[in-house]
């Protein structure tokens, strides 16, 4: 089955390249460094004979989730090189900004035998750490064949994704057989992996490392300065985080209704993908709002209605200024994004109905009273208006969210112990 898959992947490469070139019309980075995706790159082991730990994080979300873990790996294994791969330019930018030359960064190879084998020959990892659920048949097959131990870390598997994998049962069982350990976020995720053919001995439920988010002193100082600059004590601030196409329109429509009763309110929209910054800016202008771009470095004044979050790596900081946070990817059928960044700041959270990528975490927050999950996106304006009018309820929701985060810490420690066991057995 894997051989058929490989043949199909080779046939699809021209289409994949064409799609990337089309995307590069808006985001030029998609046409840059394309040779890396075929396993051709400079660097790797040149002049450095230390064994490698390969961390694969798909994009921005996985890169940010992996960042504290990578910091611990750098500190704990100075005798190893850290090779960090991503698949998107935004993920690449985050890795470079966070770690610079402390890690070797390159795009992950496309999942063809040739590209994967070229990558492995140059990097020679002894451990592959895959963040969340990014399973590729050739990546797993050839890594294991090269003697690499493989850990699927912070793994999650929605019911919808499990049904997709089940359609290719033989290929899926073959991939799962290559894994040494699957460290799942929740028992329900683990059960879905088991139903697909994972052996119980390969499974460990560690919880989500997203709960181990640290708000350090430097970040807290920056947050306080941001709140003062934006006049948070004088106006309410709604942060719409990681929005997708189709959500910005819903959020702007809700904002129009909110402003009818809460006139001193600022909306911060942070699109998930940078190639959408200009389009969302124009959408806000066309709706008649006064818009300030975060990238301008100018704080919004009393006459500004909207701030466009058009910078990278600042979402956690921007959420610190929120009176209420709306989490994107949930008002359309995408599956939602990380809700814990807002909760860590003590910010009440509102989402749409589509949170299947974070179902267990969402259930925890909803049960604790920290989050409102709307049954219908049409309810957004009324929900936000009610929250903005109730400081007591917002405070209770925020405190409940912080408690949920505190009560569920510890996944990173468990994961590091699993990693240490695999590295010890690999050497």
Q: Using CA atoms, how far apart are residues 414 and 309, in angstroms rounded to an integer? A: 35
The torsion defined by the Cα of 312, 245, 243 and 383, in degrees rounded to 10, comes to: 160
Distance of alpha carbon 84 from alpha carbon 125, whole angstroms: 11
Contact 168, 136 (CB under 8 A): no
Largest separation between any pair of C-alpha atoms in the chain: 65
Judged on CB neighbours under 10 Å (0-12, 13-18, 19+), 386 is: exposed
Q: Checking DSSP bridges between strand 236-243 and strand 149-155, what pairing results, if any? A: unpaired
- Which is nearest to 39 in space by CA: 122, 148, 95? 122
Residues 6 or more apart whose CB falls under 8 angstroms from that of 37 comprise 107, 108, 109, 110, 115
Q: Could you tell me which of 334, 193, 212 has the C-alpha nearest to residue 273?
A: 334
Active site (annotated) includes residue 163: no
Which of 62, 126, 132, 341 is flagged as catalytic?
62
Could you list the active site residues? 62
């Amino acid at each position: 089955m894997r051989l058929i898959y490989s043949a199909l992947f080779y046939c699809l490469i021209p289409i994949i390249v064409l799609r990337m070139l089309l995307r590069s019309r808006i985001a030029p980075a998609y046409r840059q460094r394309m040779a890396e995706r075929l396993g051709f790159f400079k660097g790797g082991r040149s002049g450095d004979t230390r064994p490698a730990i390969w961390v694969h994080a798909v994009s921005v979300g996985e890169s940010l989730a992996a960042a504290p873990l990578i910091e611990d790996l750098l500190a704990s294994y100075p005798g190893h090189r850290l090779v960090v791969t991503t698949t998107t330019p935004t993920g690449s930018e985050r890795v470079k900004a966070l770690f610079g030359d402390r890690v070797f960064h390159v795009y992950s190879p496309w999942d063809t035998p040739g590209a994967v084998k070229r990558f492995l020959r140059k990097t020679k990892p002894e451990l592959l750490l895959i963040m969340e659920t990014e399973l590729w048949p050739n990546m797993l097959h050839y890594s294991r064949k090269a003697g690499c131990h493989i850990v699927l870390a912070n793994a999650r598997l929605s019911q919808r994704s499990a049904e997709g994998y089940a359609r290719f049962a033989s290929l899926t069982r073959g991939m799962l057989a290559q894994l040494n350990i699957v460290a799942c976020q929740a028992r329900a995720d683990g059960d879905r992996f088991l139903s697909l053919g994972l052996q119980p001995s390969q499974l460990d439920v560690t919880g989500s490392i997203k709960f181990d988010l640290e708000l350090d002193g430097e970040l807290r100082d920056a947050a306080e300065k941001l709140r003062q600059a934006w006049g948070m004590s004088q106006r309410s601030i709604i942060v719409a985080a990681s929005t997708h196409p189709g959500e910005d329109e819903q959020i702007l429509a809700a904002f129009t209704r909110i402003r009818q009763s809460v006139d001193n309110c600022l909306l911060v929209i942070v699109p998930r993908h940078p190639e959408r910054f200009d389009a969302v800016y124009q959408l806000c202008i066309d709706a008649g709002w006064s818009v300030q771009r975060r990238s301008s470095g100018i704080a919004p004044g009393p006459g500004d209605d909207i701030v466009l979050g058009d910078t990278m790596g600042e979402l956690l900081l921007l959420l610190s200024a929120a009176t209420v946070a709306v989490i994107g990817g949930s008002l359309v059928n995408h599956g939602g994004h990380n809700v814990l960044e807002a909760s860590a700041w003590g910010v009440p959270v509102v989402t749409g109905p589509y949170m299947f990528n974070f179902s267990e975490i969402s259930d925890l927050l909803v049960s604790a009273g920290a989050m409102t999950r709307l049954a219908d996106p049409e309810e957004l304006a009324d929900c936000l208006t009610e929250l903005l009018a109730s400081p007591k309820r917002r405070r209770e929701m925020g405190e409940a969210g912080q408690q949920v985060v505190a009560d569920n810490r510890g996944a990173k420690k468990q994961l590091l112990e699993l990693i240490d066991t695999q590295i010890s057995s690999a050497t």
